[in-house]
Structure 1
Amino acid sequence: MPESLRTRLERLAFGLFPAYAGTGARIRYIAADWREVRLELPLGWRTRNYVGTIFGGSMYAAVDPIYMLMLIRNLGPDYVVWDKAASIRFLKPGRGTLAARFTLEEAELDAIRAALRTERSVDRSYAVELTDATGTPHARVEKLLYVRRREPRARSPDLRASP
């Protein structure tokens, strides 16, 4: 699916948002429906560690917010999504640009909605690999996300009304 003008602008905004820009990663693609996101993490002065490979913190930070944002965009405002836990397994040192591809299937969204019809909340696990140009994985990140339906807010009393 091609990018929309909106997702193209959102992709560019990632590069301006200080917390994400500091990772050194670049979002390369966001599908118009937010069901696929691709990013690159180059080896450079901002991402290089003491031994000359990509800093593990940069690897994690590059992928950290993506699945949460994808779920928020796809489930909509009636749902609350939070990161609950994460782990990273380093497989090989990153000596060049690494890439990650995130996908979210409609069946996964349907499963979340169905589970939340009977449960107060659900935890969902997602994994993504950072790979080099040949497809060799260098790190695997697993994210555990918490999802629940948003509870309707109680109306606050009108404090301006006089007794």
Structure 2
Amino acid sequence: MFASLRSRLYRLGFNCVPAYRGTGGRVTYVAPDWQEIRVKLPLSWRTRNYVGTIFGGSIYAAVDPFYMMMLLKTLGDVYVVWDKEADIRFKKPGQETLYARFRLSDEELEAIRAELAVEGTESIDRHYTVDLVDANGTVHATVRKTIYISTDETKKV
């Protein structure tokens, strides 16, 4: 129960931070193990652009920090995690609320740990993709993030 309460507090925290709040996006779910996060981005006066659809900057900003945050929380303190690169592909104008779902599997986390455990490997780049979809599942935009991950030699036991 404590983990569940903690994840709800993180969700509320995300939604109260002015930098994230300004995107128009709202975190609707944070899994207690940080392996899933869900976000919604409504079309509103705050996110509407000149032609009446969701502003592309809001679409990107609403999904920007999550893979980095999820990896920081799930891998632990002995890893350094940074956003390195991003690419967004707009496929259809957002004329209604859009939703994004971020997931990390146990296999992905183990693959990262194993890759960084190889002698001579100082860092790796991992690529993650998230779709922004409407209520019917139609993809409106796809964001691809490149995340830099390394071990922090000063924190190794």
Query: TM-score when scaled to structure 2?
Result: 0.94
Counterpart-to-counterpart distance in 2, 1:112 and 1:68: 13
TM-superposed deviation, 1:15? 1.3
Structure 1 runs, 4 residues or longer, greater than 4 Å off: none
Corresponding residue to 1:121 among 111, 120, 123: 123
Counterpart-to-counterpart distance in 2, 1:26 and 1:74: 22
| Superimposed CA distance per residue, residues 99-149 of structure 1 (whole angstroms, 9 cap, x where no aligned partner) | 000000010000100110121000000000000000000000000000000
SS in 1 for 2:117: coil
Counterpart-to-counterpart distance in 2, 1:97 and 1:152: 44
SS in 2 for 1:152: helix
TM-superposed deviation, 1:90? 0.1
**Number of residues paired by the alignment?**
151
| One-letter amino acid of the structure 2 residue matched with residue 133 of structure 1 | A
Whether 1:107 and 2:115 are equivalent positions in the alignment is: no
Counterpart-to-counterpart distance in 2, 1:16 and 1:103: 23
Counterpart-to-counterpart distance in 1, 2:15 and 2:38: 14
Whether 1:80 and 2:80 are equivalent positions in the alignment is: yes
SS in 1 for 2:13: helix
Q: Counterpart in 2 of 1:161?
A: none
TM-superposed deviation, 1:40? 0.2
Query: TM-score when scaled to structure 1?
Result: 0.91
Counterpart-to-counterpart distance in 1, 2:13 and 2:23: 14
Question: Unpaired runs of 5+ in structure 2?
Answer: none
Please state which structure has a larger fraction of its residues in helix.
Answer: 2
> Identity rate of aligned residues, in percent?
61
| One-letter amino acid of the structure 2 residue matched with residue 87 of structure 1 | D
CA RMSD of aligned residues (A): 0.9
Q: Counterpart in 2 of 1:142?
A: 144
SS in 2 for 1:54: coil
Counterpart-to-counterpart distance in 1, 2:63 and 2:55: 13
SS in 2 for 1:116: helix
| Superimposed CA distance per residue, residues 14-73 of structure 1 (whole angstroms, 9 cap, x where no aligned partner) | 111011000000000000000010010000011000000000000000000000000000
| One-letter amino acid of the structure 2 residue matched with residue 136 of structure 1 | T
Counterpart-to-counterpart distance in 2, 1:100 and 1:68: 15
